[in-house]
Homo-oligomer: A and B are copies of this chain.
């Protein structure tokens, strides 16, 4: 660690007390204009840089926010971090990221480390169904915000995510409006709220339109590309008994897998099958046909998280209205990004 000048060094050089220098550094009152000038100049001259660690110990606040995510390489999480950073870095906060590699053990270890480092707040995209590991943070009044998905937890907690039920409905309404009636779906794990809600939206959209649910058209994957491929193959294999004209795939990688399965079967999108994906980010802009997909406002998720955190931290510092601190579940709006992967059904095809 750095051994640069300390307040004490400066104080000695100027023959004033440490507290005077401290006041000057922090722009506090009660320091004569002349002294202040002298100090400020010395600060420059000797390249004084405040030691945040010492400040942290004294102030019980590290100006640091912990973010634990399953995979930093996913653009989805990258965007969110960027959003958080945008908001909090302006206030001098800094982000400690930990990549759990979708692994519970790592996640637990990361949480442990972040707690030891006394982060002022925690953002968590957990891969753990039960969220008990965050209790310690809560008990120590460290704000926690969940993103991406919500664990089973028996107390109120902040979260920022999209309305996944609505997300599915948006996708389904798009297909329904194009005349599709037999719509298959590939779902990720319904053990997590995220998958569960997307499933729910799928079913509700059908029911609200007066259509019945055909369980044979529902395939269960695990969010990975491989299962997207396999589910699609399976759906295609039984297409005679359980026909469908469109498929809704509820994660990015499963979407890519499903498309490959369709291609491999010699079928074409959207001519033979219409497809809607989820979270698809095609930075290449070269995938043909362009995939129609449900998207999340990642940056907004990030900035919203950042603002909530900052609000909690300030509230806590001002020790005011402690009991008023309300948890909130923010549901942001998903939206549809229209490509060319869905076609309007002609009358005869319906």
Chain A residues engaging chain B, CB cutoff 8 angstroms: 1-4, 47, 49-54, 56-57, 59-64, 71-75, 78-79, 81-82, 85, 89, 92, 94-99, 101, 109-110, 113-118, 120, 136-137, 140-142, 225, 253, 256, 259-260, 280, 282-288
| Residues of chain B within 8 A of A89, CB atoms compared | 98, 109-110, 113
Check B62–A72 contact: CB distance below 8 A: no
When C-beta atoms are compared, the residue in chain B nearest to A253 turns out to be: B283
Check A57–B49 contact: CB distance below 8 A: no
Check B73–A79 contact: CB distance below 8 A: yes
Q: In the complex, what distance in Å separates the CA atom of A54 from the CA atom of B288?
A: 56
When C-beta atoms are compared, the residue in chain B nearest to A65 turns out to be: B96
The listed residue (B53, B73, B115) touching A2 by CB distance below 8 A is B115
The listed residue (B75, B109, B118, B253) touching A51 by CB distance below 8 A is B118
* 5 A–B contacts, CB within 8 A, in A order: A3-B140, A51-B57, A53-B57, A73-B82, A95-B96
Q: In the complex, what distance in Å separates the CA atom of A286 from the CA atom of B281?
A: 12
Q: Chain B's nearest CB lies how many Å from the CB of A94?
A: 5
Q: Chain B's nearest CB lies how many Å from the CB of A123?
A: 13
When C-beta atoms are compared, the residue in chain B nearest to A84 turns out to be: B99
Q: Chain B's nearest CB lies how many Å from the CB of A24?
A: 17
Q: In the complex, what distance in Å separates the CA atom of A284 from the CA atom of B280?
A: 9
Check B49–A116 contact: CB distance below 8 A: yes
Check A81–B72 contact: CB distance below 8 A: yes
The listed residue (B47, B260, B283) touching A285 by CB distance below 8 A is B260
Check A4–B51 contact: CB distance below 8 A: no
| Residues of chain B within 8 A of A117, CB atoms compared | 52-53, 63-64, 94
Q: In the complex, what distance in Å separates the CA atom of A95 from the CA atom of B97?
A: 6
The listed residue (B4, B101, B114, B140) touching A140 by CB distance below 8 A is B4
When C-beta atoms are compared, the residue in chain B nearest to A61 turns out to be: B1
| Residues of chain B within 8 A of A113, CB atoms compared | 89, 92, 94
Q: In the complex, what distance in Å separates the CA atom of A237 from the CA atom of B53?
A: 59
Check B260–A116 contact: CB distance below 8 A: no
